[in-house]
Structure 1
Amino acid sequence: MKLQPDRLDVQSILAYGAGWVGLGSNGVAEKIDYSIVIGSRGEKFAWNCTRFDQLTAEHFALLASLKPELVIFGSGTRLQFPPPLFLQGLMAQRIGLETMDTLAACRTYNILAGEGRHVIAALLIEPQEA
């Protein structure tokens, strides 16, 4: 039984690993090694943070301004929850937020985007030590 298409018609995450994600859209693949926000409606921009402790309420207000149904927050290599104060803009607009480690967020984003949902993935990509 086939449950999902072989190819998504939206921007998707093709691969991921420690310190990077591979994005794909319209047959073009790109390796990203910095924190990024992507969306099922084509949103894509760098997210100005490299560590969880750099996040502020403004980071999440920016996500709320995109007006998605749901934000998937990839908190890095381990699960870390943002303070409720940071989420006021999302809550005021009744936008859901799911927090998970970044690799789980990548998988979840693809599933929801493939269902046609307006979803935003805010992925914290932590730099790898050399």
Structure 2
Amino acid sequence: MIVRSLEEIKGTDRDVDGGNWVSRRLLLAGDNMGFSLHDTILKAGTTTPIHYQNHLEAVYCIEGHVTVELDPSGEKYEIKPGTVYALDKHDKHVLIAHEDTRVVCVFNPAVTGTEVHNKDGVYPVAND
């Protein structure tokens, strides 16, 4: 069984500052769960383009307010506490954080924790 607290992750290599966001990686590929689980803060006033071509992601909002804008359609979704969105088609999107927003993210396949978004907002496929 894996038991891990947010407090013990803060300040470790599982506490990743992506500039516009801070992601605390609670579960990663090395935990062998088949998915990864992240507690993430999207920083107020930021706009972040993302395109997970190699991963599916579900995001559950706990606090704050963010707009998800799909690219290229421009369709917008207002995400507030109690709302989940799932990028089930590897949707290219932009996150617009209106205030600090805390979300829980699940990735399939699991991320290793060392990925960095490329210029298009893509995470590479993890090496086995």
Task: Give the alignment's TM-score, normalised by structure 2.
Answer: 0.34
More strand by share: 2
More helix by share: 1
